[in-house]
Structure 1
Amino acid sequence: MSVSLELLSGKEDVSSGANPDNAISQLITNILSTSYNDPSLRQALSVLDTKMEENTAENRRQLRSNIETSVLKSGSTILKDFTKLHQKLSSLGDSIQELNNQYNHMEKVVSQATKDTLLIQKQAEELRSSEETISIKKRLLEAYENNFVLTDQELDILNNGLLASGADEVEQFFQVLQKVNHIHNDCQVLLSADDTSQTGMEIMGQMSAHLDKGYERILIAVENEFKKMVSGQYLQISKSLRRYLTILSSERPNLFDSALNGLIDTRQKNLTNEFIKALTVETSTSKPIDFYAYDILRYVGDIMAWIHSAIVGEQEILETLLLDDKKTLLQKIDKATTSLVKPLRLRIEQVISTEDNLVDIYKVGNVLNFYYSIFIKIFSNESSAIMTAISRLEEACSRQFSQCLQNKIASQKDGLGAVTRPGSSLLRDLQPPEFFSDALADAKAILSSYEASINFTSPPSNQFKQTLHDLIEPYLELCNRVSESLPSVDSEIFVINCFDATKSTLSLFPFVQYKIDQMNNRTDELAEVLEDSQYYKFLSSSGVNSILNADKTLNREKISGNTQLIQELAASLDNFLPAANMESSVLLHRLSSPRLSSSITLRASQRFVDIFQQIKQCLDELYGEEAAVLMPRSVSEVKTLLAIE
């Protein structure tokens, strides 16, 4: 920098004359102690550099005066500027003072006005407060009228006029009824407050009365609709009626039950009248059902078909009223059809009690059981009146069936003597008597009916097994009693023929194979008796019986050394064997089963061959080669003559 240290001190001329050494020393000290990193010093040097273009002695001498002159000029300029500012501030102060004066004046005026309008203001505040209170009361009154009060028009709609007069009127009625119901429920709010509880109770009482009146009107409308219903018609329920029933069911179940009970009572009367009419009155297209009472099967079938049609009709009608309540629906159907039970039981029990045909009685029982299985699907329980009636009718059928069977068997027992009197066909051909054939015909018809019935099972139920036993075994017992009066072989042939006829009937029905097996076992037992008789006949006719013991075993002592007896036996055999088959055919020709006859003869012949073989063996042992001379017949020849080979 071109500025000297002396210039920096600013005291060159002032201190040069007094104590120069100290001044210089102090100056040097100040200079040396000065930090050239000081921002203010650096800034001062920068300004000084701009003020001095050249670092000359002249410039250094005039530096101070130049700076002071510059400062004076700057001060003068500042004074001029501040003079203008002062003038403006003075003017602003005057304006503020004027504003203060005006404010004070206005404050005095307002204060006076406030004092003057204080009463009016108080009155205005009171009016505003009253206005708010009145507005609240008005809203409360409007809300009260809207929520807790019925208009005259609404009361008229609720209490007067027929609901069925028009759709608009019905809709208005339901709107009013809904409003009454809401008011009744909203009264709980009034009851919860001490100051409005009395009012709430009064309103609730009024609304309860209105509700009762409204529901009674609905009940009347429902009853009027129900009166239009007649039995047999399919009910087309209108929207309004369905709405009536829905409301009564949910809000007044007792009125709903009352309406339904009234309908059921009407339906009972109509059903009874129509049933009696169907039973007794002839129409242009059909005879009355009672006209066919002579045909028990058709008669009972027609009655049960009518009952079924009536129950289905009632179900269809009541289902439209009770869509979701299955239990109540079944109860009402049962109640509606209860009136049919008495004439139903009276008619059917009467024809059952007078019927003596076993097959028809059994078929009637199957018809009743068939409808029982249908009705159980509708009623879902066995305690309904119709189900109970059918069960009792089935029991009546069962009793009548048993009674008729017993009577028939008893009458046959009394007539057994005529069956075996001389000249009867039974003694000629040993075939089953007519009463047994009739019994088998009944059994066949009953088996066919059972096979076609809804209760059919294979193997059959124990109940049906007992029925089949009752149908056949008593008659077989009668046949056994008849056989007791016949000769020995004829007795067995007769009973076997009865068994064979029974098997022929039962063989048409595979589900009674167990009974056929029983007959086969009993036939085999009697066939063994016939086989013994045939065998003993062979022994007697052939003369072999003369050399046998009592137990039909060979007596060796009789033929030992008795050649004459042996020769007589050989001659007797020669006479017997050619006609043996003919004799056996004559003995068993009245067996109805040729297969069984052949089987019995074959087994008896085989036994005869066995005893003849024992005789030949014994003769060979006793007489050696002479045996062939004494008994020339060989075993093979005997087999051939008896048609075994």
Structure 2
Amino acid sequence: MSSDRPWSLKTLPLRDASSAGLLPPDSYPQTPSTPKSLTPLASKVTSVLSTTHSDTEFRDALSLLDQRGIQNDAETRRRVRLDLQKEVIDSNGEVIAEFGRVAEQLRRIKTTIDKLNSGYEDMKSQVVAAHEQTTPALSEASSLLEQRRQVEVKQDLLGAFRKHFIMSESEIAALTMTAEPVDDHFFQALSKAKKISKDCEILLGFEKQTLGLELMEQTSKNINLGFQKLYKWIQREFKTLNLENPQMNSSIRRALRVLAERPSLFQNCLDFFSEARERILSDSFYVALAGSSPSGTEDPSVKPIDMTAHDPLRYVGDMLAWIHSATVSEREALEVLFVAEGEELAKGLKSGRDAEIWRLIAEDDEVEADFNALKALNDLVDRDISGAARVLRQRMEQVIQSNEETIPAYKLANLINFYRITFQKTLGPNTNLVELVEGLETEALRQFRALVRDHIATLQGEFQHAPSDLGPPAFLQDSLKQLKAISKTYDSSLSASEDRESEFENVLAEAFEPFMAGCENMAKVMKDQKGAIFLINCISSATACLEPFDFTRRRTQQLQGKSKEEAKKLVVSQYNFFRKGSGLDPIFSFLEENKDKDAGPLDEKLLGQASQTLDDFLPSALMDAMENLKHLQDSKLARKVTEEAAEQFCNDFEELEEVILEEDEDSADSDDEEEEGRLRSVFPRTTAEIRVLLS
């Protein structure tokens, strides 16, 4: 084996322990002479041999030796331990040297720390001394800062309080001084004052109420002065307002809306305004009537109603039309306040009433109605027009009393009724103007009734004599002409009544019923036939007058029913004419009296006389019957009445014929040839012949 070959511990051959004479301790023979403790060499060998290659530490040691590149020779094996120990010693020396340098650094650090500790202790002693000296000042400064913070909070609170509860001099001046204008600054100041007054109620809830009471007293004083200033300003504005065209601008509407919180002042303003408007409208109406003002100043642009309207109806119509136009214009001018601002006015009036002393002490059941803007508007317009309405009443009363004609009187009442309904729709039912016009309407109707009654009184003599032709008397014809004119007027009028027929019955009672009653009384004293003809003619004329109008339908039906009753009387009269004229009345009476019992044979002699009379009567019977009704103006009704009477006569004749035939048949059954057909030979007329002759 060459000596240059490198060796390592890994290449060393494993020696067999048994061949070297070395056995493990377990294989040594145990003899009594073997000592319990081994020799150091044996221990060493045992330790080496007990280490196996699989041991981790052993393998790591071999790996380290292998990494060092140790030559596996005898010299190396002898010096390996020494070399390793030397390396360990050198390494330890280096470590010790390094630790020496570390120790030197630590000593320097210790010196530095000692210096720092010394400086720190020095500074600490100085700080403690300074702290002991500044502690009172800091405590005082902290106390002052806290006091400053509290003062700032109080200052902010006071500022907020002053801003909220105290009015500035400029605000008080804008609110109370009459020299200052009523503008946005005034309303802002008033709004702030009202808010302060309301919020003062919170201050009154505190234990000390002095501040709240003083503030409320001062604020209430300023608010009252502000409302007085506003009230006087509105009055001045009303004086400068164009009363010919009373359009309220936004500032006046706003002022009135605010003033509504003082109902008494608000009402005084409205009273002042209405008085001015009443005076202006009265003067304007006087100018429209006379063409000049009450002071005598003429207006050439105006056509006086007194001069242009000669007809009473037109005169009244022109005056009512002027009043209506003025009412509508006044309402349109004022409704911008009461309609557009109505809700705000209602709120203001309600809050004002609730704050009034007499409302606070009133009983619970004394509750006023809520503010109605539309009603307030109508009431104000009604008051504005009241002066002109008084002049209207005077003029119209003169016209009504001076009128002496019936139809114009009713037309006048109807015209007033039209405007009453119009004013009622414009201003409502419970206004003075509507009541005034309603009174004029009542007066006009009273005059109409008086004229009708006077006319009836003048006709009392005419109620005693009927015309010779049994036609409607002149007074009835005149009354029907008037009634027709009245009906046309009423038909074209505007009526508020849903039952027009019942409403017109009052007119009929005055202008129609007395005349019809007079005709009926005249008919009663006449003979039945003439009285019926006369009454039917009167009813026909009345029906022709009333029938075209739907509001007289009920009375027309009553008249037609009365006419039918009178026509039945004529039928009876014509029927009696046929019976008596034909000579058959005694025979018909005999048969009627003995209808339910055996009357015995007919009188042949009486039958023969009746036959002769009938033959003489029949040729001209129908013409004679129609001649009886020649004064009946309705020819169709006359023919109808005659036909019904002829039909009844034919029916009676048919019964007579049946009796004659029965008696002849009875005579034939008695085998007496002389008696057979005896009655028929005496009375040969048949029912068919009678019907032909009377048709």
Q: TM class by shorter-chain length?
A: 0.7 to 0.9
Determine if contact 1:554/1:615 at 8 Å carries over to the other structure: no
1:487 Cα offset (Å): 3.5
| C-alpha spacing 1:42/1:478, structure 2 compared with 1 (3 Å) | farther
Describe the superposition over 1:206-238 as per-residue Cα deviations: whole angstroms up to 9, x where unpaired: 333222222222222222222234655241x33
Alpha-carbon distance between aligned partners in 1 of 2:145 and 2:657, rounded to the nearest angstrom: 154
1:330 Cα offset (Å): 1.3
1:370 equivalent in structure 2: 418
2:26 equivalent in structure 1: none
Describe the superposition over 1:363-392 as per-residue Cα deviations: whole angstroms up to 9, x where unpaired: 444444433443444445x43333434444
The answer to whether 1:260 aligns with 2:261 is no
2:216 equivalent in structure 1: 204
| C-alpha spacing 1:73/1:227, structure 2 compared with 1 (3 Å) | same
Alpha-carbon distance between aligned partners in 2 of 1:161 and 1:384, rounded to the nearest angstrom: 38
1:499 Cα offset (Å): 1.1
2:375 equivalent in structure 1: 330
Alpha-carbon distance between aligned partners in 1 of 2:268 and 2:538, rounded to the nearest angstrom: 67
1:146 Cα offset (Å): 4.2
Alpha-carbon distance between aligned partners in 2 of 1:533 and 1:618, rounded to the nearest angstrom: 26
The answer to whether 1:638 aligns with 2:690 is yes
| C-alpha spacing 1:140/1:90, structure 2 compared with 1 (3 Å) | same
1:242 Cα offset (Å): 2.6
The answer to whether 1:507 aligns with 2:547 is yes
Alpha-carbon distance between aligned partners in 2 of 1:447 and 1:113, rounded to the nearest angstrom: 123
Describe the superposition over 1:249-286 as per-residue Cα deviations: whole angstroms up to 9, x where unpaired: 3x444433332233233333434444455455566466
1:416 equivalent in structure 2: 463
The answer to whether 1:610 aligns with 2:627 is no
The answer to whether 1:20 aligns with 2:28 is no
Q: More displaced, 84-93 or 431-440?
A: 84-93
| C-alpha spacing 1:581/1:122, structure 2 compared with 1 (3 Å) | closer
The answer to whether 1:84 aligns with 2:101 is yes
The answer to whether 1:582 aligns with 2:599 is no
Q: How does 1:254-333 map to 2 (within 5 A)?
A: 254-279=264-289, 281=291, 284=300, 288-289=304-305, 295-322=311-338, 323=340, 324-325=342-343, 327-333=372-378
Alpha-carbon distance between aligned partners in 2 of 1:546 and 1:379, rounded to the nearest angstrom: 79
1:497 Cα offset (Å): 0.4
TM-score, normalization: structure 2?
A: 0.75
Aligned-partner SS, 2:459: helix
Determine if contact 2:382/2:431 at 8 Å carries over to the other structure: no
1:134 Cα offset (Å): 6.1
Aligned-partner SS, 1:603: helix
Describe the superposition over 1:38-97 as per-residue Cα deviations: whole angstroms up to 9, x where unpaired: 7x6765565455457466665554343232212111111112222322333333333333
Determine if contact 2:331/2:381 at 8 Å carries over to the other structure: no
Aligned-partner SS, 2:633: coil
Alpha-carbon distance between aligned partners in 1 of 2:463 and 2:591, rounded to the nearest angstrom: 37
Alpha-carbon distance between aligned partners in 2 of 1:36 and 1:370, rounded to the nearest angstrom: 139
2:113 equivalent in structure 1: 96
| C-alpha spacing 1:150/1:35, structure 2 compared with 1 (3 Å) | farther
Q: More displaced, 307-316 or 177-186?
A: 177-186
Amino acid at match of 1:452: S
| C-alpha spacing 1:477/1:74, structure 2 compared with 1 (3 Å) | same
2:259 equivalent in structure 1: 248
1:228 equivalent in structure 2: 240
Alpha-carbon distance between aligned partners in 1 of 2:167 and 2:206, rounded to the nearest angstrom: 22
2:435 equivalent in structure 1: 388
Structure 2: gaps (5+ residues): 1-8, 16-34, 293-298, 344-370, 665-674
Describe the superposition over 1:164-201 as per-residue Cα deviations: whole angstroms up to 9, x where unpaired: 5xxxx823333444444455455556556657x53443
Determine if contact 1:157/1:173 at 8 Å carries over to the other structure: yes
Q: More displaced, 333-342 or 589-598?
A: 333-342
Amino acid at match of 2:456: I
Q: How does 1:505-584 map to 2 (within 5 A)?
A: 505-545=545-585, 547-549=587-589, 560-562=603-605, 565-584=606-625
Determine if contact 2:320/2:419 at 8 Å carries over to the other structure: yes
Amino acid at match of 1:262: F
Q: More displaced, 253-262 or 184-193?
A: 184-193
Alpha-carbon distance between aligned partners in 2 of 1:462 and 1:216, rounded to the nearest angstrom: 57
TM-score, normalization: structure 1?
A: 0.80
Determine if contact 1:267/1:336 at 8 Å carries over to the other structure: no
1:495 Cα offset (Å): 0.8
1:473 equivalent in structure 2: 513
1:13 equivalent in structure 2: none
Determine if contact 2:418/2:493 at 8 Å carries over to the other structure: yes
Alpha-carbon distance between aligned partners in 2 of 1:79 and 1:386, rounded to the nearest angstrom: 133
2:250 equivalent in structure 1: 239
Alpha-carbon distance between aligned partners in 2 of 1:447 and 1:149, rounded to the nearest angstrom: 76
Alpha-carbon distance between aligned partners in 1 of 2:262 and 2:518, rounded to the nearest angstrom: 71
Alpha-carbon distance between aligned partners in 1 of 2:514 and 2:138, rounded to the nearest angstrom: 125
2:175 equivalent in structure 1: 158
1:155 Cα offset (Å): 3.9
Amino acid at match of 1:334: D
Alpha-carbon distance between aligned partners in 1 of 2:498 and 2:382, rounded to the nearest angstrom: 36
Amino acid at match of 1:639: R
Alpha-carbon distance between aligned partners in 1 of 2:53 and 2:267, rounded to the nearest angstrom: 118
Determine if contact 1:234/1:313 at 8 Å carries over to the other structure: no
Structure 1: gaps (5+ residues): 7-16, 421-425
Aligned-partner SS, 2:589: coil
Q: How does 1:415-454 map to 2 (within 5 A)?
A: 415-417=462-464, 419-420=465-466, 426-427=467-468, 429-454=469-494
Alpha-carbon distance between aligned partners in 2 of 1:90 and 1:79, rounded to the nearest angstrom: 16
1:500 Cα offset (Å): 1.0
| C-alpha spacing 1:231/1:553, structure 2 compared with 1 (3 Å) | farther
Amino acid at match of 1:244: A
2:354 equivalent in structure 1: none
Describe the superposition over 1:324-372 as per-residue Cα deviations: whole angstroms up to 9, x where unpaired: 2571441353254243565555554554455554544444444444334
Alpha-carbon distance between aligned partners in 2 of 1:209 and 1:5, rounded to the nearest angstrom: 130
1:138 Cα offset (Å): 5.6
Determine if contact 2:581/2:617 at 8 Å carries over to the other structure: yes
Alpha-carbon distance between aligned partners in 2 of 1:352 and 1:96, rounded to the nearest angstrom: 133
Percent identity, aligned pairs only, is 29
